[in-house]
């Protein structure tokens, strides 16, 4: 029974990960506001002090039958890395994290652009505000990823 619960958690975890990475491209327009609010909160949950999302914590609690499990290997704490290893892709945790951040950010930006186009929102009222916002975004990417 425990293995069935763990498998169902991992399946749901995979669904959430795919939705987070590619949701901005595939979600219907009426659900985009939920995605735009939910994606940052899921990313924040993943990047809190322990670096684990709640689904990984729940899976480890069930697997090790403890509220504060002592995992045997780092692979138990990194869902995407373990999944990529099963597919034969071996990358470091930091490279995987950077790739995930870029994919999530690009998906979120695409969903945001779909939303503002659908609602006919004028994002930049003047060229000056457009240049300021773009420069802030570029600086943020440089500081974050380099």
Residue 113 reports pLDDT greater than 90: yes
What is the reported pLDDT for 103? 94
58 contacts 5 by C-beta, under 8 angstroms:
no
The predicted model gives 47-58 an average pLDDT of 83
Q: Phi and psi at residue 106, in whole multiples of 5°?
A: -65, -40
What is the reported pLDDT for 17? 93
What is the reported pLDDT for 44? 87
As given in the structure block, the two tokens for residue 34 are 């939920």
Put simply, whether the predicted model's pTM sits higher than 0.85 gets the answer: no
Longest Cα–Cα distance in the chain: 60
What is the reported pLDDT for 81? 86
Residue 94 reports pLDDT greater than 90: no
């Amino acid at each position: 029974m425990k293995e069935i619960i763990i498998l169902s958690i991992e399946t749901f975890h995979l669904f959430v990960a795919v939705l987070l990475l590619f949701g901005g491209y595939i979600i219907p327009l009426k659900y985009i506001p939920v995605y735009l609010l939910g994606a940052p909160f899921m990313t924040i949950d993943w990047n809190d002090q322990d670096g684990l999302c709640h689904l990984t914590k729940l899976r480890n609690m069930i697997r090790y039958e403890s509220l504060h499990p002592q995992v045997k290997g780092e692979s138990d704490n990194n869902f995407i890395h373990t999944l990529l290893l099963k597919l034969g892709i071996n990358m470091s945790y930091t490279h995987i994290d950077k790739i995930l951040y870029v994919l999530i950010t690009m998906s979120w930006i695409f969903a945001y652009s779909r939303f503002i186009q659908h609602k006919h929102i004028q994002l930049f009222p003047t060229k000056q505000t457009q240049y300021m916002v773009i420069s802030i975004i570029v600086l943020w990417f440089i500081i974050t990823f380099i």
